[in-house]
Amino acid sequence: MPRDLFRHAGALLREKWLLWLCLAIIAAAGAVALFPRDAAWERVCTVADKHLAGEISCWGDFPRGWLILLAGLGALGWRLRKRHWRVVAFAALLAGALAGAQVQIISSLTGRPRPSMEVADCLHGPTLDRSYKSFPSAHTTCAFAVATVLVVMLPALGWPCLLAAAVIGWSRMALTAHYPSDVWTGMWFGIINGLIFGLAARRICLKTAETPAA
């Protein structure tokens, strides 16, 4: 299954390169537009009582909430003999993990301080300090990557997950862990990876004559 998913994902990258380029341009344009206004928008999103935002952010972490969801979906697919559920779970796992790895590399290279640091907002360059890994938001990226795969393959489950991903993005700003442009860029990294692996999973399911519907 992993080999098939990567093979179809690679084919989709080549076949639909113009779509991915357009989405990347939208993401970049939005980030450039938001960057000078980040401080003002971040103050609007910040909340005084951070308990709820903290709980949302905690369970929105990829190794916790999303991994539990995908493990449950895969186990249920195995128990009910629904192969396409297992394919979806694995595709979403790959999308979330790879998208998360991509933004971790970028955040380590850019070195943007988190809003909570209260230092000048600029790119400080390569760093391993978590306090300077604001851009992009990894929580948001992983959440949107998983949710997008589910929207493509299992819409009844995917749309609520997409809403949850948006709330997770808000929680990261509410906690002063990320600026709006961090969340915006992370969202698009997640969507692009989710579309690639979601469509790859659909091709696998169609090839085996199984419906991708729940």
Mean pLDDT, the chain cut into blocks of 10 residues (214 residues total): 91 96 97 93 87 93 92 95 95 97 97 91 93 96 98 97 97 95 98 98 83 44
pLDDT computed for residue 214 by the predictor: 41
Q: Identify the pLDDT of residue 101.
A: 97
Answer whether residue 212 is part of any domain.
no
The pTM assigned to this predicted structure is: 0.94
Please indicate, yes or no, if residue 160 is contained in any of the structural domains: yes
- Each as own residue / partner, the long-range contacts of residues 9-13 (CB below 8 Å, 24 or more positions apart, any chain) are 9/196, 9/197, 9/200, 11/200, 12/196, 12/199, 12/200, 13/196
Dihedral, 143, 106, 199, 71 alpha carbons, nearest 10:
-40
Kindly state whether residue 213 falls inside one of the protein's structural domains. Answer: no
Residue 26 domain flag: yes
Nearest Cα residue to 60 out of 122, 123, 137, 134: 137
pLDDT value for 83: 92
Print the domain residue range for 85.
2-207
Q: Residues 194-205, buried b or exposed e (16+ Cβ, 10 A)?
A: bbbbbbbbbbbb
Within a domain: residue 214?
A: no
Determine, yes or no, domain membership for 163. Answer: yes
Residue 167 lies in a domain: yes
Q: What's the pLDDT score for residue 209?
A: 57
Answer whether residue 66 is part of any domain. yes
Cβ proximity of 67 and 92 under 8 Å? no
**How many separate domains does the chain show?**
1
